[in-house]
Structure 1
Amino acid sequence: MTRDFAGDRITLSDLGFYAYHGVMPEEAVLGQRFHVDLVCGIDLLAAGRTDELSASVSYAEIYEVAKAAFEGRRFKLIEAVAQHVVDRLFEAFGPIQWIQIRVRKPSAPIPMASGEAAIELHRHRDDR
């Protein structure tokens, strides 16, 4: 089934985290930088009309939940840490209907001169 990721959204781009995710043993010891892009689908009509934060979800709170999820537990795969972040965001914020998350690993232990390794997940609340 094709899912729609259209509509209003709250976007947090290029969030930087330092964590110990990775398959290689040295990644668990040394850690590394990660960059995360989040797009959260939420109806923002009431917030736009009322100018009240209570009609939306605070992007500062989204950030805090994402940071705690990303840094709070070690995963071997960035796919797993991304799913963990998505699960925590859905638990914390009922109005969020879908999430796109991209986790970028600029220092992945592969011999690339420049660039980064990344994954992207697209999840709907009702797919859980």
Structure 2
Amino acid sequence: MLTVALEQLRFFAYHGFYAEEGVLGNDFLLDIYVSFPEPEQVEALAETVNYAALYDIAREAMVVPQPLLEQVVYDISDLIHRRFPNISQTKVALRKMNPPMGAEIRNSLVVLEKNY
């Protein structure tokens, strides 16, 4: 199995359940891991997963405000699998930095791991 990943992609977005989150926005960190059957040799980009394309998929999903982070990671995973059907596993982790909870907390975290 070969894995390609992007870690700690930074986005400012408007995801959140509470109305003020849709107005104020927040900082997010996103990790994406994709695994697929290992080719015998990797000599061309078509034989692997283009991580620039992974970034484009993430950016596309992050600009659409969602009330739940669970939906964001599901959308990203789904978009990745549709673009790269040879992928056998995705792991998408999304951190909301300083979530508005009335407590001192660095981040909340939602992780979705899918096998295809």
Tell me the TM-score normalised to structure 2 length: 0.92
User: How large is the RMSD of aligned CA atoms in angstroms?
Assistant: 1.3
1:63 paired residue number: 55
Q: Give the direction of change, closer, same or farther, for the CA distance of 1:118–1:50 in structure 2 (3 Å limit).
A: closer
The structure that is strand-richer by fraction is 2
SS in 2 for 1:45: coil
Aligned length: 116
Q: Deviations over 1:98-117 (max 9, x none)?
A: 10111101121113324211
Structure with the largest fraction of helix: 1
5+ residue gaps, structure 1: 1-6
**Residue 50 of structure 1, CA deviation:** 4.0
Q: Name the % identity.
A: 27
Matched, 1:43 2:43: no
- Please give the alpha-carbon distance, in whole angstroms, between the structure 2 residues aligned to 1:25 and 1:10: 36
Give the counterpart of 1:52 among 19, 26, 44.
44
Structure 2 unaligned regions, length at least 5: none
Structure 1 stretches of at least 4 aligned residues deviating more than 6 Å after TM superposition? none
Q: Tell me which residue corresponds to 1:89.
A: 80
TM-score with structure 1 length normalisation? Answer: 0.84
2:70 to 70, 79, 93: 79
